Amino acid sequence: MDADSTLSNLLNEDRRFAPSDAFAAAANVGADVYDVSDRLAFWDQQARRLQWRQDWSEVLDWSKAPFASWFVGGRLNVTESCLDRHVAAGNGNRAALIFEGEPGDSSTITYAELLAEVSRAAHAITELGVKTGDRVAIYMPLIPEAVVAMLACARVGAVHSVVFGGFSAEALRSRIEDAGAVMVITADGGYRRGSAFPLKHAVDEAVEDSPTVRNVVVVRRTGQDVAWSERDVWWHDVVDRQAPTHVCEAFDSEHPLFILYTSGTTGKPKGIKHTCGGYLTQAAYTHWAVFDLKPETDVYWCTADIGWVTGHSYVVYGPLANGATQVIYEGTPDTPHQGRWWEIVAKHKVSILYTAPTAIRTFMKWGDHIPAEHDLSSLRVLGSVGEPINPEAWMWYREHIGGDRCPVVDTWWQTETGAIMISPLPGVTHAKPGSAMSPLPGIGATVVDDHGEPVGRGHGGYLVLTEPWPSMLRGIWGDDQRYVDTYWSRWPGRYFAGDGAKYDEDGAIWLLGRVDDVMNVSGHRISTTEVESALVAHPAVAEAAVVGANDDVTGQAIVAFVILRQGHQEDENIVERLRAHVAHEIGAIARPKRVLIVTELPKTRSGKIMRRLLRDVAENRGLGDVTTLADPAVMRLISEGLSAGTAEDE
Ligand code: PRX
């Protein structure tokens, strides 16, 4: 990392926003929660908010570090905590999911109905041969059946691997293959930006030669035509006729619950593995504490898709474990108009909203008048996740969405951490705009320098987690060594998160972005290497280097520098074709914003590409230090080539 430039980004933010006295007095969690002296006793207590069939003998076994076991010997079925017990407690008629489809269709599913549907789906996948421990890929739009599919897997002990519906057939194929999935659950398509997009055809392509996938179960959402083969089964044919009750088995606390693929610093995505007891404990606790959830009265809305970890922990598992009533919305924020989200907030009287900075910045750009046209007075807590939130966006969110009265919680965590780790508590913290503030109770985090020494107040370095936590990843699917190497080898005994961070003079933590070759585009992780591999797989490309350049809306934007093979220079459409090629290989979220055709790339004498210099070019900055370049003239060539206007695409 270019430590100096990132870490010298010192912020001078001294505004603070305390909760109102009334909010603080009614909050689920008060300041005494930070008095935790015995971390394990704290988590032991939190685990008791779930329903267990068998108690644990030990809270944490860390003897095989960094491979952890939490709530050792405990047994549970996570869906019993998320569904059955709420119905048993007499809350079966409470709304669990309030679904808003993009075309305007809307439905409410109670806890009793959700339990019945999950039971039917559990019977259906069992009938199709899915067994405990089998992997099931889920590739769906954000519709209630997606939540049902995840919970049905969990209920029978199958391991779900949700693949974001915006990923390409190729990305889906490689994830199915890596996990050895036996089933794919999908839909004919979904609605986005005012029209139906197809999904099933990508599954057909992805499973064509799959030696493991036996069935593809298809939800009818859009009614569009789909190709059909012997392994395909309609969801309604196989689910609707099943019994609405299902006696479920309890599984070991460490039984795998799901795999979720995320980008690392190589071209191959990592299958992050999470297990049952510890994961659900921390997802449930943090959802209750950080959002101050009052399940009887709140209407909660997290705008994440289930394809991302936020959708796992804060759409499916955390809220349902807490018996929350929540909104899920299928589509985009500007369909059919730019006030769609605020219309939904007003319609359902949403009280807790959890979203991403990129969305907030987009709304800022669209204008203050749009949210102002809607009644947002039901809101009382606002959350942010996915990337650093700049103080301007934080302030805008607080003023224009939160009416200056709602605490804003900026929550730092990762696919790997499974649940929120660093965040204000809304009834306690005097939050600073743009800061994630401090580790939650029971969590150990600090900022260290290159030697692993904690830095003091006012200094920056690398964010590390100092203690194991219940919802920590249990490894990388099929690659234990990569787990050890990636996260635990840089400084012994400490988890390296890959983020730069800084303590301010008051000891508040400010996240500064990734320090590795992982980009963060609209809150989504994409590795530079993954995009480079896609580019060099194209016959016209000889070499490629990809950087994330700062972007006002998406946080970072993908900029690719490409050297073409002989004979391809003249082709005028090459930039557009390469962008489309990356979208086809990985998915539209990885489509480079710009592709710059160059004749050379800046390399050190050892052949390593100097991304820092490419970032300077991509962000239109003057060139930094080029003395370590093998050929210092290269940057001049690149800059001259670009200013001659050869190949920029917006
Ligand atoms: O760089 C950090 C950023 O997102 C990364 C994790 O990405 P992912 O696994 O996709 O999970 C995103 C949703 C939890 C982190 O390494 N990040 C996430 N939340 C924040 C953040 N950066 C700054 N502030 C945050 N609140």
Q: Which is the closest atom of ligand 1 to the Cα of 308?
A: 10
Split at pLDDT 50, 70, 90, the class of 635 is confident
520-536 average pLDDT score: 91
Is the predicted pLDDT of residue 183 greater than 60, yes or no? yes
Residue 615: closest CA among 545, 547, 553, 563: 547
Where do we find the tokens 């306690």? Answer: 428
Distances (CA, A) of 319 to 96, 155, 535: 9, 17, 40
> How many Cβ atoms are within 10 Å of 220's Cβ, its own excluded?
15
384-428 pLDDT per residue, tens:
999 999 999 999 999 999 999 999 999 999 999 999 999 999 999
pLDDT in the model for residue 263:
87
| DSSP 8-class letter at 20 | P
546-580 pLDDT per residue, tens:
999 999 999 999 999 999 988 887 566 999 999 99
3-class state of residue 19 by DSSP:
coil
Measured in degrees and rounded to the nearest 5, phi and psi for residue 260 equal -135, 125
595-610 average pLDDT score: 85
Residue predicted with more confidence, 504 or 623: 504
Split at pLDDT 50, 70, 90, the class of 605 is confident
Q: Which of 258, 308, 355, 414 to mutate to test the pocket of ligand 1 (most atoms within 8 A of CB)?
A: 414
Mean pLDDT of the chain: 93
349-367 pLDDT per residue, tens:
999 999 999 999 999 999 9
pLDDT in the model for residue 641:
61
Is the predicted pLDDT of residue 5 greater than 60, yes or no? no
Q: Which of 310, 409, 413 to mutate to test the pocket of ligand 1 (most atoms within 8 A of CB)?
A: 413
14-20 average pLDDT score: 94
- Residue whose CA lies nearest to ligand 1 atom number 6: 414
Is the predicted pLDDT of residue 626 greater than 90, yes or no? no
Helix ranges (H only) for 400-537 are 480-488, 528-536
CA-CA-CA-CA dihedral for 558, 274, 513, 490, to nearest 10: -110
CA of 210 to the centre of ligand 1 (A): 33
Distances (CA, A) of 401 to 70, 297, 396, 398: 39, 20, 7, 6
Label the pairing between strands 256-262 and 159-162.
Answer: parallel
- The residues near 511 (Cβ < 8 Å, ≥ 6 apart) are 388, 412, 422, 436, 463, 499, 500, 501
- Residue whose CA lies nearest to ligand 1 atom number 5: 414
List the structure tokens of 358: 């990129």
91-105 pLDDT per residue, tens:
999 999 999 999 999
Is the predicted pLDDT of residue 633 greater than 80, yes or no? no
List the structure tokens of 324: 């929350």
Strand arrangement, sheet containing 256-262: 232-234, 215-219, 183-187, 135-139, 159-162, 256-262, 270-275, 475-476
Is the predicted pLDDT of residue 9 greater than 60, yes or no? no
3-class state of residue 320 by DSSP:
helix
- State the Cα–Cα distance between residues 48 and 154, nearest whole angstrom: 20
Is the predicted pLDDT of residue 612 greater than 90, yes or no? no
- Buried/exposed code over 40-53 (b: 16+ C-beta within 10 A; e: otherwise): bebbbebbeebbbe
Q: Against a cut of 0.75, is the pTM above it?
A: yes
String of DSSP letters for 343-399: HHHHHHT--EEEE-HHHHHHHHHH-THHHHTS--TT--EEEEESSPPPHHHHHHIII
CA of 305 to the centre of ligand 1 (A): 15
- Residue whose CA lies nearest to ligand 1 atom number 12: 386
448-507 pLDDT per residue, tens:
999 999 999 999 999 999 999 999 999 999 999 999 999 999 999 999 999 999 999 999
pLDDT in the model for residue 230:
97
Split at pLDDT 50, 70, 90, the class of 603 is confident
Q: Is the CB of 520 under 6 A from ligand 1?
A: yes
Q: What angle do CA 59, 65, 67 make, to 5 degrees?
A: 75
Q: Is the CB of 436 under 6 A from ligand 1?
A: yes
- State the Cα–Cα distance between residues 291 and 312, nearest whole angstrom: 16
Measured in degrees and rounded to the nearest 5, phi and psi for residue 386 equal 115, -30
229-279 pLDDT per residue, tens:
999 999 999 999 999 999 999 999 999 999 999 988 777 889 999 999 999
Is the predicted pLDDT of residue 2 greater than 70, yes or no? no
- State the Cα–Cα distance between residues 328 and 101, nearest whole angstrom: 8
Long-range contacts of residues 13-17, Cβ cutoff 8 Å, at least 24 apart:
13/391, 13/432, 13/433, 13/434, 13/435, 13/504, 14/432, 15/391, 15/432, 15/433, 16/430, 16/431, 16/432, 17/398, 17/407, 17/408, 17/430, 17/431, 17/432, 17/433
Q: Is the CB of 413 under 6 A from ligand 1?
A: yes
586-606 average pLDDT score: 90
Distances (CA, A) of 316 to 287, 328, 331, 336, 505: 11, 10, 18, 26, 38
- The residues near 227 (Cβ < 8 Å, ≥ 6 apart) are 200, 201, 204
CA of 641 to the centre of ligand 1 (A): 35
508-532 average pLDDT score: 91
List the structure tokens of 597: 């055709």
- The residues near 567 (Cβ < 8 Å, ≥ 6 apart) are none
pLDDT in the model for residue 623:
66
Q: Which of 417, 486, 525 to mutate to test the pocket of ligand 1 (most atoms within 8 A of CB)?
A: 525
Is the predicted pLDDT of residue 330 greater than 90, yes or no? yes
52-80 pLDDT per residue, tens:
999 999 999 999 999 999 999 999 999 99
**Domain annotation for the chain: domains and CATH numbers:** 538-640 (3.30.300.30)
pLDDT in the model for residue 577:
94
Split at pLDDT 50, 70, 90, the class of 188 is very high
Split at pLDDT 50, 70, 90, the class of 584 is very high
Residue 164 φ/ψ region, left for φ over 0, alpha for ψ in the -120 to 50 degree band, beta for the rest: beta
Q: What angle do CA 645, 646, 650 make, to 5 degrees?
A: 75
Is the predicted pLDDT of residue 521 greater than 60, yes or no? yes
Q: Is the CB of 387 under 6 A from ligand 1?
A: yes
- State the Cα–Cα distance between residues 99 and 102, nearest whole angstrom: 10
Residue predicted with more confidence, 569 or 21: 21
- Buried/exposed code over 408-423 (b: 16+ C-beta within 10 A; e: otherwise): bbbbbbbbbbbbbbbb
CA of 237 to the centre of ligand 1 (A): 40
Split at pLDDT 50, 70, 90, the class of 198 is very high
- Residue whose CA lies nearest to ligand 1 atom number 15: 414
Burial class (CB in 10 A: 0-12, 13-18, 19+), 295: middle
String of DSSP letters for 68-90: EEEEET-EE-HHIIIIIHHIIII
pLDDT in the model for residue 649:
35
Is the predicted pLDDT of residue 516 greater than 90, yes or no? no
Burial class (CB in 10 A: 0-12, 13-18, 19+), 281: buried
String of DSSP letters for 568-636: -TT-TTHHHHHHHHHHHHTBGGG--SEEEE-S---BBTTS-B-HHHHHHHHTTPPP---TTBS-THHHH
